[in-house]
Structure 1
Amino acid sequence: MPLLTLTFLLCLSSELAKGSELSSTEEVTQKNCPDTDILAGLDAAVADGVDVISISLGSDLAPPFFQDNIAVASFAAVQQGIFVSCAAANSGPALGTLSNEAPWILTVGASTIDRTIRAKAKLGNGEEFDGESLFQPNDFVPNLLPLIYAGSNSKPGSALCGPGALNGSDVKGKVVLCERGGGIGRIDKGTEVKNAGGAAMILMNQESDAFSTESDAHVLPATHVSNAAGVKIKAYINSTKTPVAAILFKGTVIGDLSAPVVASFSSRGPSMASPGILKPDIIGPGVNILAAWAFPLENNTDPNFNFNVISGTSMSCPHLSGIAALLKSSHPYWSPAAIKSAMMTTADLLNVQGKPILDQTLHPADIFATGAGHINPSKANDPGLVYDIQPDDYIPYLCGLGYTDMQVGIIAHRPIKCSKVSSIPEGELNYPSFSVALGPSQTFARTVTNVGEAYSSYSVKVVAPPGVNMIVKPDKLYFSKMNEKARYSVTFHRTGEKTGNFSQGFLEWVSAKHHVRSVIAAMFH
């Protein structure tokens, strides 16, 4: 087969290079990526005949798909058999903050890997708190130094260590505790401390980021610690007249058994543009990712420096794009939807320890954070069954969203008359997951294609979302040849239990060799 080609569309602003607190990738797009450039790049990739397009940009808005340039342009790519992977955006952990929600796109959230670049904060009372920092100078002596909280001067916004926040404060030679947030870049906070004469910085998370920390190329000795650690450090400062602290650099530490953990910044579902499609689709490595880098770093003196460690769904998206390329190489005749299905139905719901994947609070992550789960490339290469969708199958779905003929035509790139199309509800699209709004009972059908052993049989396993009763018909599927298709239906009934706004579960088709899982989000109204 011909050599696979993969195109990356990535826009980085200087804020991202400095450890920005960007609420989403929208700001990046507006600054450096006009819509015309994005569309031109996508059109060029399609014209070049690439196999995979990786798009690490987006918007924190959720426009209808016919007004979403990435959705419209990527549909043209999918029509040419091109797989499209997109970043979910960096607006988490709030619900409904996704970007790139179209069902023909793989929407990727971000998780940690089992590597940290450790920097500890040690207090005068002997307490130590694990944190992270990429900048680990060899000549920094880890002696206890006076410790001060930046917010202690009562100046508005001083706790955030923004520009000018420390003017008039006595921080020379001290370790300064700064709070994360306020739209001020993490590295910019360290710059403020350094310019004011501070010797080092402890950066504490805001409550929403909880235990989710990152390794940045800081401009001075620093460590980024959790909110819980920061609260204890503030309490220590208030408990003594002479608080002191030291920064202890521990280098790269491998073997975090809690990995993967969903990053706090990773945008969450449900989808606003199409609530009947579960998004994000999947999560992958997106925290502290080492890669080539074209921008200078302020504290680096090596002119040949060309690598950096950064975080974001812009990092997780290319991981999934690369895996898609590998799957395309192994299975050259699979459609983009089949590749996507293989990834989603084989994804992991458990971490390295075999326990449920956690979020930034270190509690089990919900389905709107993880989607189908964490990518497992080896399993994706042999999924057993796939949920296939051809480009024309999206037209009845789009008509079912209530779009006009003209609006659907914008996406399809040709005239469409919905009156001549059998419109379907969102949940009827042959998607590898389910997102069900439960009032009255609902029944949806799915078709699976056998890409495993020619002679095989599958039995259904159901873990119904709490508050939901599920009936799957038939409960067994039989295949006698490759690429044979089988159809089943699922009926969802609300049981009347009080379970909150949503609950989650899954159904799984199990053979002697394969487990083909479709996760389920049930939303109660």
Structure 2
Amino acid sequence: MSINFFCFSSFCQTNTLNPNLVKGKIVVCKLENDNVDRIQMRVYIRSIGGVALIVIDPSGQDILFNFGIQATVIDQEEATELQTYISTEKNPVARLSQTFTLMSTEPAPAMAMFSSKGPNIVTPDIIKPDVTAPGVNILAAWSPVALGSAGGQSFDYNIISGTSMACPHVSAVAAILKACHPSWSPAAIKSAIMTTATMLDNTGSYIRRHPDGSQAIPFDYGSGHINPVAAIDPGLVYDFNSNDVIDFLCSNGATSAQLKNFTGEAIFCKNPPNPSYNFNYPSIGVSNLQGNLSIYRTVTYVGKGPTLYTSQIEFPTGVNVSVVPRTLRFTNTWEKLSFRIDFTPSKTSNGSFVFGALTWNNGIHRVRSPIALNVVSLQG
């Protein structure tokens, strides 16, 4: 449809516009910052008679939501063109066309600006996030009684962005893996999802941050973007049980009273506790590397038939990494083999982390674990 424009109206805050000028018009509003209540914006515009909304997002994130009225989102460059058009035309009009799905957008995936990032401030030897998953402009079922988050309107579907939408994707993959492998532990399922994730986008380049295009790091995407098909057949998994979790909690200062809250029974930590960097996690982190260090991991073979895995290293800047043994030979399913990773730093990392990876490869499966090291000193 074609409708006359109302002029640019800045941030469109409640009670800042003249309803007589807005009624029956398309209203152009600019987001003041990332914390603007977009739902309240469109509720206000609709309440004073606006029939459509153009939202200017200067950050270029293109984050959508259920507008409740006909609407679109544009970036600052497009906004400049629009402003020029409105200011030079006596009777500017716009045509709102039928929406369509744009397939094979490149590059994708990309890390959203609002995505939660590491390092992990609670348990710093664990790289966070674990993985990344689709979480921007996700159209999904919505409870029609959830009126507060829908501007007082009842919807069966909504468009949401954030971890709330990425989490269901990962949960679905976990459910698929549990259906395919009923005997797998939660740790094995988590490992399969993490070690088969990818750091590459659909152009074959490393995943980048949106909107500036800078290269992302494990503190942005963890082990990478989930790959459900690969996760079904990971080859190896890093498994752990409740005793391993207790050791990990002990290494992070948990008291006997706190452990009893978890387990319901009296538990006393080893003295000294097993270091948290030795927790059998699918990623490898050392937040306080002082000189040479050896850490340990155990993998469980979940494939079929004899096979040989060879270690491959992506070296963190300024750190030599070696794996002992360099190869792992498996004969039977559920066989467990352990290995050692030796870190030898040649320079400090000046308070920041350096990144690499360890991959076990048998020619069919690539079992990849990111490495994050904060080299504090060269002497232990």
**Contact in 2 for aligned 1:502/1:524 (Cα 8 Å):** yes
For residue 215 of structure 1, give the secondary structure of its aligned residue in structure 2.
Answer: coil
**Contact in 1 for aligned 2:251/2:276 (Cα 8 Å):** yes
For residue 272 of structure 1, give the secondary structure of its aligned residue in structure 2.
Answer: coil
Alignment match, 1:175: 27
Would the alpha carbon gap of residues 523 and 196 (structure 1) be closer, same or farther in structure 2, given more than 3 Å must change? farther
The one of 39, 56, 62 aligned to 1:204? 56
Alignment match, 2:330: 479
Task: Please show how residues 492-503 of structure 1 align to structure 2 within 5 Å.
Answer: 492-496=343-347, 501-503=352-354
Deviation at 1:339, TM superposition (A): 0.9
Q: Which amino acid aligns with 2:210?
A: Q
For residue 251 of structure 1, give the secondary structure of its aligned residue in structure 2.
Answer: coil
CA distance in 2, matches of 1:344, 1:431: 10
Q: Deviations over 1:138-187 (max 9, x none)?
A: xxx145x4463333xxxxxxx2x332233589545243132154644212
Task: Please show how residues 57-206 of structure 1 align to structure 2 within 5 Å.
Answer: 141-142=1-2, 145-146=4-5, 148-151=7-10, 159=11, 161-166=12-17, 170-172=21-23, 173-179=25-31, 181=33, 183-205=35-57
Alignment match, 2:189: 339
Alignment match, 2:366: 515
Would the alpha carbon gap of residues 219 and 331 (structure 1) be closer, same or farther in structure 2, given more than 3 Å must change? closer
Q: Deviations over 1:72-118 (max 9, x none)?
A: xxxxxxxxxxxxxxxxxxxxxxxxxxxxxxxxxxxxxxxxxxxxxxx
For residue 487 of structure 1, give the secondary structure of its aligned residue in structure 2.
Answer: strand
Task: Please show how residues 376-455 of structure 1 align to structure 2 within 5 Å.
Answer: 376-418=227-269, 420=270, 423-437=273-287, 438-455=289-306
When the two structures are aligned, how many residues end up with a matched partner? 367
Alignment match, 2:124: 275
CA distance in 2, matches of 1:491, 1:245: 67
Deviation at 1:454, TM superposition (A): 3.0
Residue ranges of structure 1 left out of the alignment (5+ in a row): 1-140, 152-158
CA distance in 2, matches of 1:425, 1:299: 49
The one of 140, 143, 146 aligned to 1:291? 140
Deviation at 1:241, TM superposition (A): 4.0
Q: Deviations over 1:262-293 (max 9, x none)?
A: 22332112212101111111112222333322
TM-score for the superposition, normalised by structure 2 = 0.86
**Contact in 2 for aligned 1:388/1:448 (Cα 8 Å):** yes
Would the alpha carbon gap of residues 232 and 390 (structure 1) be closer, same or farther in structure 2, given more than 3 Å must change? same
**Contact in 1 for aligned 2:43/2:151 (Cα 8 Å):** no
CA distance in 1, matches of 2:272, 2:263: 16
Residue ranges of structure 2 left out of the alignment (5+ in a row): none
Indicate the larger mover: 212-221 or 330-339. Answer: 212-221
CA distance in 1, matches of 2:137, 2:110: 12
Would the alpha carbon gap of residues 493 and 224 (structure 1) be closer, same or farther in structure 2, given more than 3 Å must change? farther
TM-score for the superposition, normalised by structure 1 = 0.64
CA distance in 2, matches of 1:194, 1:439: 60
Deviation at 1:196, TM superposition (A): 4.1
Structure of greater relative contact order (alpha carbons < 8 Å, 6+ residues apart) = 1
Would the alpha carbon gap of residues 219 and 325 (structure 1) be closer, same or farther in structure 2, given more than 3 Å must change? closer
Q: Which amino acid aligns with 2:312?
A: K
Would the alpha carbon gap of residues 245 and 400 (structure 1) be closer, same or farther in structure 2, given more than 3 Å must change? farther
Q: CA RMSD in A?
A: 2.9
Report whether the alignment pairs 1:315 with 2:165.
yes
CA distance in 1, matches of 2:208, 2:100: 24
Deviation at 1:463, TM superposition (A): 0.6
CA distance in 2, matches of 1:457, 1:182: 50
Q: Deviations over 1:433-473 (max 9, x none)?
A: 01222343322110111111331111111111223221221
Deviation at 1:395, TM superposition (A): 1.2
Q: Deviations over 1:289-328 (max 9, x none)?
A: 3332222677999x9x633332221222122222212211
For residue 199 of structure 2, give the secondary structure of its aligned residue in structure 1.
Answer: coil
For residue 110 of structure 2, give the secondary structure of its aligned residue in structure 1.
Answer: coil
Indicate the larger mover: 501-510 or 252-261. Answer: 252-261
Would the alpha carbon gap of residues 449 and 503 (structure 1) be closer, same or farther in structure 2, given more than 3 Å must change? same
CA distance in 2, matches of 1:403, 1:429: 15
Report whether the alignment pairs 1:219 with 2:52.
no
Indicate the larger mover: 497-506 or 275-284. Answer: 497-506
Alignment match, 1:88: none
CA distance in 2, matches of 1:503, 1:520: 8
The one of 207, 228, 233 aligned to 2:79? 233
Q: Which amino acid aligns with 2:123?
A: S
